Amino acid sequence: MQRLTKKWHRDGAHVGLVPTMGYLHEGHLSLVREARKRVGKKGKVTVSIYVNPTQFAPAEDFSKYPRDLKRDCAMLRKEGVDVVFAPTDGEMYPAGSTGGEATLFSTYVVEEKLSKAMEGVSRPAHFRGVTTVVAKLFNLVLPDVAVFGQKDFQQATIIRRMVRDLNFPVRVIVAPTVREADGLAMSSRNKYLEGDLRRQATVLRRAMDAAHAALKRSKKISAARLKADTRKLIESEPDARLDYVEFFEPETLAPVADVSTGVRMALAVVVGKTRLIDNETL
Ligand code: AMP
């Protein structure tokens, strides 16, 4: 991958990278189109497909995470992607780790502030896995531009911070969330939502709509009050459980006591056995 990308650079092409875990949907494809826009017709777009074991906790869905490389490649060919980079676990973590600690791999990239809130509370080792694998992908693909989705807002913020802190020569672009017609944010994990769970999953969208509406009625509302209202709405669905809802400053992720326009809302909800996340600026 490095040999190829160095040649692209020598030939004067800009290189764009879209990191994914595969099982692609329109959300991923929107990032691919953004990458193409950034590097131009003569540029090169690489999509990485890698379900990274180090960002999953042992009890999480690493082994059953949906995978379909053939279908993904067909979709990306249609989009005019130049290369799909789909390494094996053994290539990324020598000694072939799958979830546990690989014996021949012992260096991690750890962001120490932004990773502690929200997703980091529920998934303590998650962002260490994410920053480590994204740093590896940046070193492997050597992109000029990398595109991430707002769907994972905290992740994108942490990666921006990592790039700044560690001087990666990469421009990070964060693209809007693509949704289904009923407002559910597209996600590979939506595949798990069977029967009525798929309908119940729209409660994340409804919770954000309710917060927008509340802010329209009064310009400033206490976060505590909005959190309580959100919990009530989420738990009105029989199979939904609120993991967290947070209201925070978008740059620093610092929680606010009073919610007003421009504050960002993020929430995680378990629907059946599937953990879904979403976020939006209010
Ligand atoms: P994943 O394959 O879920 O790890 O996601 C790969 C990239 O796609 C990440 O940067 C995500 O934020 C982004 N992404 C996932 N879902 C969406 C969506 N519905 N809209 C836009 N970007 C998304």
Residue 206: the pLDDT is 98
Whether the predicted pLDDT of 7 surpasses 90: yes
Ligand 1 center to 217 CA (angstroms): 32
What would the 3-class secondary structure string for 193-223 be? CCCHHHHHCCHHHHHHHHHHHHHHHCCCEEH
pLDDT-derived band at 104 (thresholds 50, 70, 90) equals confident
The model's pLDDT over 119-162, given as tens digits with 9 standing for 90+, comes to 999 999 999 999 999 999 999 999 999 999 999 999 999 999 99
Q: What integer is the mean pLDDT of 220-241?
A: 98
The predicted structure's pLDDT at residue 101: 53
Contact 5, 145 (CB under 8 A): no
CATH superfamily of the domain spanning 2-175: HUPs (3.40.50.620)
pLDDT score, position 100: 52
Query: What pLDDT was estimated at residue 224?
Result: 98
Evaluate: CB of 151 within 6 angstroms of ligand 1.
yes
Atom 22 in ligand 1: which residue has the minimum CA distance? Answer: 149
Q: And the tokens for 38?
A: 């950034």
Q: What percentage of the chain carries pLDDT values higher than 70? A: 97
Q: What is the pLDDT of residues 179-205, one digit of tens each?
A: 999 999 999 999 999 999 999 999 999
DSSP element (H, E) containing 258: strand 258-259
Average pLDDT, the chain: 96
CB distance 187 to ligand 1 below 6 Å: yes
How far, in Å, is the centroid of ligand 1 from the Cα of 264? 18
28 included as an active-site residue: yes
Ligand 1 pocket, mutate which of 31, 184, 208, 280 (most atoms under 8 A from CB): 31
- The pLDDT, as a whole number, for residue 265 is 98
Q: Residue type at 151?
A: K
Could you tell me the distance, in angstroms and rounded to a whole number, from the CA of residue 13 to the centre of ligand 1?
25
Please give the pLDDT value at position 208: 98
Q: For ligand 1, atom 12, which residue shows the shortest CA distance?
A: 149
Question: Catalytic one among 14, 28, 126, 212?
Answer: 28
Please tell me the distance from the alpha carbon of residue 13 to that of residue 7, in angstroms, as a whole number: 9
pLDDT at 97 > cutoff 70 = no
Looking at residue 250, what is its pLDDT? Answer: 96
Q: What is the residue with the minimal CA distance to atom 5 of ligand 1?
A: 20
**pLDDT(109) > 80:** yes
80 pLDDT more than 70: yes
pLDDT at 118: 97
Ligand 1 pocket residue status of 275, Cβ below 6 Å: no
User: Residue 239: its pLDDT value, please?
Assistant: 98
Virtual torsion, Cα 52, 57, 58, 63, nearest 10 deg: -40
Q: Buried b / exposed e across 9-18, counting CB within 10 Å, b at 16+?
A: eeeebbbbbb
User: Distance between alpha carbon 231 and the CA centroid of its chain, in Å?
Assistant: 23
Distance from the CA of 158 to the center of ligand 1, in angstroms?
A: 15
Q: Residue 96 pLDDT > 80, yes or no?
A: no
- What number does CATH give the domain 188-281? 3.30.1300.10
Q: What is the pLDDT of residue 95?
A: 76
In the chain, where the domains are located: 2-175, 188-281
Apex CA 57: angle with CA 83 and CA 21, to 5°?
15
With a 6 Å cutoff on the Cβ, whether 148 touches ligand 1 is: yes
| Shortest-distance atom of ligand 1 to CA 148 | 10
Side-chain-side CA neighbours of residue 13 (13 Å): 20
Residue (of 185, 151, 11) closest to 82 by Cα position: 11
The Cα–Cα gap between 134 and 162 comes to 10
Q: What is the pLDDT of residues 30-55, one digit of tens each?
A: 999 999 999 999 999 999 999 999 99
Annotate 178-206 with b (16+ C-beta within 10 A) or e (fewer).
bebeeebbbbbbbebbeeebbebbbbbbb
Which pTM value belongs to this model?
0.96
Verify whether ligand 1 is closer than 6 Å to residue 157 (CB atom).
no
Pairing of strands 264-271, 240-248: antiparallel
Secondary structure (H, E, C), 140-154: HHCCCEEEEEHHHHH
Ligand 1 site, residue 27, Cβ cutoff 6 A = yes
For residues 102 and 270, the model is more confident at: 270
